[in-house]
Amino acid sequence: MILDVRSTARTERDDLASNISRHAQNKLSLMLFFLFPINTDAPIYHWPFGTVGLIIVNTLVMIWMTQTGNAEAVLTDYGLSYGDGLHPMQWITSNFLHSGWMHLIFNMIFLWSFGIIVEGKLGWGRFVPIYLAIGVIECFIEQLMMLRMGGEGSVGASSVIFGLMSMALVWAPKNELTIFFFLLVVIKPFIKIFEVSILSFSVFFIAMNLALALFWFQVGFVSSELLHLMGGAVGGVFGVMLLKLKVVDCENWDIFAVMNGTYGSEKPHPLSMYHYGTDYTVKPNVKKLKSKRKKKVRLTTDELKAADPPVKDSNPYAASANDESRVSRRSKGLAAMREYLQAGKVSAALNEYHNLRRNIGEFSISAPDLLALGDAVYKAAIWEDAGDIYNQYVHRFPDIASDVRVRLAAILVEKQQRPMAALRVLEPIGPKELSPDLEKYRAKIEKRANQLLDEGVIELEGRAWGGAS
């Protein structure tokens, strides 16, 4: 099976490079199947510049090593050596050396799969130093442990990659990986692609490596599996430490929330102040009101429903149906959506909403229903749909949408990296239209948006959000 590997040689030091290569080749000759991740549904908040850069560096080092015409000397000089004292430079260089192209390719596949998850929460500026730190710490411990062992050494990135897998396990255990499985039975291949949680995948590989490490240890060998586990332990410590220091926000989906059974349920967020079934008292945006009335308007749920614009049918199917059928479908659809929301079935409620829009028209959902759905979808971390729903709310109910503008701007900044769009969404909010807590959150969003602009974030323009041009 492929997950090798920080390749290790178990023979004399003077033949370190050839023994490293031979060990990797022996492993490959015994492979019966491949099993590795190729994609993930974990939220990615930063483009993986660091992961891509590390893959490029590892590949360039491999090309350079093969072009030197003396790969064995490179592995001997820059691989992690045992029984020859401590060599800090090797703690870095050995993580970028591989014993062959297959060794490199499969390590880089795993680096991509777990690197994008970890870097997706950290950004490249923090990810790359942590990646290097895992490698340095693991190699230091490894070389220290092997001071009395001669003739052995190791190369490869897999200990660091195991560390990244441990961090992904701590931060996103319930998210899924797309797994590519290849089995060769004699000459007939079997290929399957399936989904599995990061928790299940990581536990499987940790258990497998633990069993193999114990087996080899009993017969007197220090195996690559033990080195994998060492890297995993270092990465796990980093993952827990960064989580507890709140350097990363796992939105209550981390391993501790999963173990406690509280995952997905979090304290009220400044963007989720409304609850389904409540009468909302809202203050309109006075600057946007076209009428000249001076009194503040206080609207209840029933008044908002009564003021909902008439249904507009652009769908041919809806236009061809009679009014009674349309009203019936609308009533049944809304009732089903409300029941799903009350039962916490957000995906089902969202599907019902999309069906209503297709079959009845864009303006078939009243303000309280639209707001309740948007909040539920936001809490479920379905960011694209939450943004669409909040955007529709802002367009349809601009006079009572100040709070929703803040939620929409938060999605644009925190989830989509669109600072200019977020600032345009926030611009129409007048003074004293927000509660003190929400005003603080608005200021925080504006500050973050300006920071992104200062960092040179390139914003790809898409649709106009919240009336933005």
415 shares its domain with 462: yes
| In-domain check, residue 410 | yes
User: Per residue in 235-286, pLDDT tens?
Assistant: 999 999 999 998 998 878 899 988 988 776 444 434 433 333 333 333 334 3
Q: How many CA atoms are closer than 13 Å to the CA of 449, on its beta-carbon side? A: 25
Total domains, the chain: 2
254 shares its domain with 274: no
- What would the mean pLDDT of 16-23 be, rounded to a whole number? 39
Contact call for residues 349 and 369 (beta carbons, < 8 A): no
181 shares its domain with 89: yes
| In-domain check, residue 340 | no
Question: Mean of the per-residue pLDDT values for the chain?
Answer: 78
298 shares its domain with 275: yes
Residue 469: is it exposed, middle or buried by C-beta count within 10 angstroms (0-12/13-18/19+)?
A: exposed
| In-domain check, residue 322 | no
180 shares its domain with 300: no
Examine the fold and report which residue of 222, 243, 260 is the final residue of a domain before the chain moves on.
260
N residues, the chain = 469
What is d(CA 17, CA 77) in angstroms, rounded to the nearest whole number? 9
| In-domain check, residue 454 | yes
pLDDT of res. 291: 40
Q: Residue 126 is part of which domain span?
A: 7-260
Residue 55 reports pLDDT greater than 60:
yes
Which residues is 192 bridged to in the sheet? 181
Which is nearest to 225 in space by CA: 24, 8, 465, 371? 8
- Displacement of CA 242 from its chain's centroid (Å): 16
| In-domain check, residue 376 | no
253 shares its domain with 273: no
pLDDT of res. 315: 43
45 shares its domain with 126: yes
- What would the mean pLDDT of 327-352 be, rounded to a whole number? 83
What is d(CA 193, CA 78) in angstroms, rounded to the nearest whole number? 38
User: Per residue in 110-157, pLDDT tens?
Assistant: 999 999 999 999 999 999 999 999 999 999 999 999 888 766 789 999
* Structure token digits, residue 14: 């003077």
Which residues is 197 bridged to in the sheet? 176
User: Per residue in 211-239, pLDDT tens?
Assistant: 999 998 888 777 889 999 999 999 999 99
| In-domain check, residue 185 | yes
Which is nearest to 378 in space by CA: 356, 409, 399, 400? 409
What's the CATH number where 90 sits? Answer: 1.20.1540.10
| In-domain check, residue 352 | no
32 shares its domain with 134: yes
User: Tokens 């290849």 correspond to what residue?
Assistant: 182
290 shares its domain with 430: yes
411 shares its domain with 459: yes
| In-domain check, residue 377 | no
Residue 447: is it exposed, middle or buried by C-beta count within 10 angstroms (0-12/13-18/19+)?
A: exposed
In which region does residue 322 sit, left (phi positive, over 0), alpha (psi from -120 to 50) or beta (all else)? beta
pLDDT of res. 317: 39
98 shares its domain with 81: yes
What is d(CA 435, CA 437) in angstroms, rounded to the nearest whole number? 6
290 shares its domain with 171: no
User: Per residue in 274-293, pLDDT tens?
Assistant: 333 333 333 334 343 334 33
